[in-house]
Amino acid sequence: MMQPALELVIAALEKIRETSDRAPRVSSNALAQLQSTYSVTTCLEEAGVSPTGPRLQQTASNKAQMLASVRERVCGCTKCAHLARSRTQTVFGVGNPDAEIMFIGEAPGADEDQQGEPFVGRAGQLLTKIIKAMGFAREEVYIANILKCRPDMPVGSFGNRAPTPAEMQTCRPYLVEQIDIIQPRVLVALGAVAVEGLLGARGTMRELRGRWHSYNGMPLMITYHPAYLLRNQLPSEKRKVWEDMMQVLERLEKPISEKQRNYFL
């Protein structure tokens, strides 16, 4: 009897999700009331609804399902027609749907475009080393980019280009959904472009890195992009990133060994 009304609500929520840069929200109370009458959680999750107020505990498998539904939309996305034409495939994100830490980069490069996974090229291998030095396996954290498509390059040219502000604005809602679903305890933005994509704020790494910022109430650490460390191999630069990562470990109340404390000194 209530089914058509419910479908209308879900269609309206889906419309909000498509047209705004945030997932639609519903209070935990309202969600609990709906749940007590009808089994609608899955439908609401499929509509990308995140509860407000005290957060409903989503299980890892719920989160995986919700991410899979966002991934499906990303796969078919043609909002940036030029990128949809030039990409080999979209690069959604990888890792634990229930991760405590989420790393955010700028955009896939050529290797990522080929393999469909973020941070698998040289910079990615360095990021994986950093994650391991922190005491995590790559599979334990979540890794995503602001852009899900490789920024296109003129035919015959090599290298990568930075995403444009318009491309970042268009793609950002997908990242917002990923963060809303995963609800990591700490976000780490890698480089100034990732910061601009996430916060919409431009700044130099000198002024941004090494201290806590906030995204939607979540602690956000800003550090150098691993590609910067490949270009600047000075131990002093590696140490800066490592100090930022130690702050992350401290925030997560993870033990830091003496050996870890002395890396790159």
Q: Show the DSSP H helices in 20-99 as ranges.
A: 28-37, 41-46, 60-75, 81-86
Work out which of 48, 97, 108, 163 binds ligand URA, going by CB under 6 A. 108
Residues 63-92 touching ligand URA, rule: CB under 6 A, are none
Distance of CA 236 to the CA centre of its chain: 28
Question: Token pair for residue 138?
Answer: 């790559």
Phi and psi torsions of 73, nearest 5°: -70, -40
Nearer to ligand URA, 119 or 142 (CB): 119
- Closest separation between CB of residue 50 and ligand URA, Å? 25
- Closest separation between CB of residue 142 and ligand URA, Å? 13
Work out which of 99, 123, 176, 192 binds ligand URA, going by CB under 6 A. 123
Using the contact rule CB under 6 A, the part of the chain among 68-76, 80-88, 103-111, 209-217 near ligand URA is 103-111
**Residue 262: CB partners within 8 Å, gap ≥ 6?**
none
What is the Cα–Cα distance from 24 to 49, expressed in whole angstroms?
5
Other residues' Cβ atoms within 10 Å of the Cβ of residue 237? 15
Contact predicate 146/104, CB 8 Å: yes
Give the DSSP letter of residue 102: E
Other residues' Cβ atoms within 10 Å of the Cβ of residue 86? 15
Q: Minimal CA–CA distance to 257: which of 118, 77, 134, 111?
A: 134
- Closest separation between CB of residue 203 and ligand URA, Å? 17
Number of residues that bind ligand URA (CB under 6 A): 12
Residue 184 touches ligand URA, criterion: CB under 6 A: no
Using the contact rule CB under 6 A, the part of the chain among 105-113, 128-136, 181-189, 237-245 near ligand URA is 105-113
Pairing of strands 186-190, 101-105: parallel
Work out which of 97, 118, 151, 163 binds ligand URA, going by CB under 6 A. 118
Residues 191-220 touching ligand URA, rule: CB under 6 A, are none
Residue 105 touches ligand URA, criterion: CB under 6 A: yes
Work out which of 93, 95, 97, 124 binds ligand URA, going by CB under 6 A. 124
Give the DSSP letter of residue 256: -
Nearer to ligand URA, 11 or 230 (CB): 230
Contact predicate 112/88, CB 8 Å: no
Nearer to ligand URA, 44 or 182 (CB): 182
Question: Token pair for residue 95?
Answer: 């890792």
Show the site string, 134-173: x = touches ligand URA by CB under 6 A, - = not. -----------x----------------------------
**Nearest residue to ligand URA, scored by beta-carbon proximity:** 105
Binding site for ligand URA (CB under 6 A): 105-109, 112, 118-119, 121, 123-124, 145
